[in-house]
Amino acid sequence: MNIRFNFSIIGIFCLIMAGMIICSAVYIQSGCMINAQAEGPWTANSIMDVNTAKEKVKKFIDTPNATLSYKKDINLPYLKGYELESDDGIFIVNKLSGDVEGAYFKNKMARLSNITIKLDDAKAKAEKFAEKHYTGFSSINMKLRKADILDHGDAGKEYIFSWQEEINGIYTPNYVCITIDPSTGDLTSYIGITRPVNINLDSKISEDKAITIASAQFDNISVARADATLNVIYTSDEKQKVAWIVDVLGEPKDDITQGGSVTIDAMTEEVAEINEYK
């Protein structure tokens, strides 16, 4: 499913969480994408208070004297957190893990079309930020999934970089996305998700089989391209499973894109979700 939102980062982040219960890939306003989400192995006894969460944000932005205001609690099955705001940004703190999982630096959004920062230089800055703020970024197998520039029209442009952990060819929920202003080099947004994997990482069907199953879900299309990846996803009852996510692109008909994204249980071949391109 490819959905584009134009809301605040907090609303977007929560919508991403909600959308990921099944599996879908969702794009937020900064272009960041998440393939999965989950609850953590924490208990109610370990819930962090708001003041401690504020200290976590101050450390995250390296501003000990920052003034942060509490906006609201986020109480969803897949995220227990706080929304906090400062003069410079909006932040999501996971109240169970203490991690700052989302940050939108509202005064840093690109407004100019000039590109003065090279892609490689912006990528190096994003990596440095991730290494500092995302626990284990350098020690686990974080694969670069996207390195590109997004054009928001009148709202400006920004570089987007995303990484996702890969284990034995399977992408886990552990994910980082960073956007950077190409005219100044300022970081404009950050998402960093850390979740445990509590299932065996295995697949009983091949990539070719998954593509065949996915292509068969669309009537009367001529498949131009099909891309498949193995991912840890979450069922509607919030349990993990390994699934193939297959993007099927058909030849256009009457200038209308054909195909969509299909999620297939990697153990049973069951089609869990179909999202046609619109």
Phi/psi for 56 (5° steps) reads: -60, -40
- Is the separation of the CB atoms in 137 and 131 below 8 Å? yes
**The predicted structure's pLDDT at residue 91:** 95
Query: Is the predicted pLDDT of residue 233 greater than 50, yes or no?
Result: yes
**The predicted structure's pLDDT at residue 152:** 80
Tell me the HSE value of 123 on the side-chain side, using a 13 A CA sphere.
12
Residue pLDDT, tens place only, 15-51 = 333 333 322 222 233 456 443 333 344 444 578 899 9
**The predicted structure's pLDDT at residue 155:** 75
What is the percentage of the chain residues whose pLDDT exceeds 90? Answer: 62
pTM of the predicted structure, to 2 decimals:
0.79
How far apart CA 165 and CA 17 sit, in angstroms, is 18
Residue pLDDT, tens place only, 64-119 = 999 999 999 988 766 789 999 998 899 999 998 899 999 998 766 555 567 889 99
How far apart CA 166 and CA 149 sit, in angstroms, is 24
Bigger pLDDT: 229 vs 254: 229
Q: Is 86 helix (H, G, I), strand (E, B) or coil?
A: coil
DSSP H helices, 104-221, are 119-133, 207-215
In this prediction, residues 175-193 reach a mean pLDDT of 93
**The predicted structure's pLDDT at residue 107:** 65
- Is the separation of the CB atoms in 236 and 22 below 8 Å? yes
**The predicted structure's pLDDT at residue 238:** 76
Q: What is the mean pLDDT of the chain?
A: 82
**The predicted structure's pLDDT at residue 45:** 55
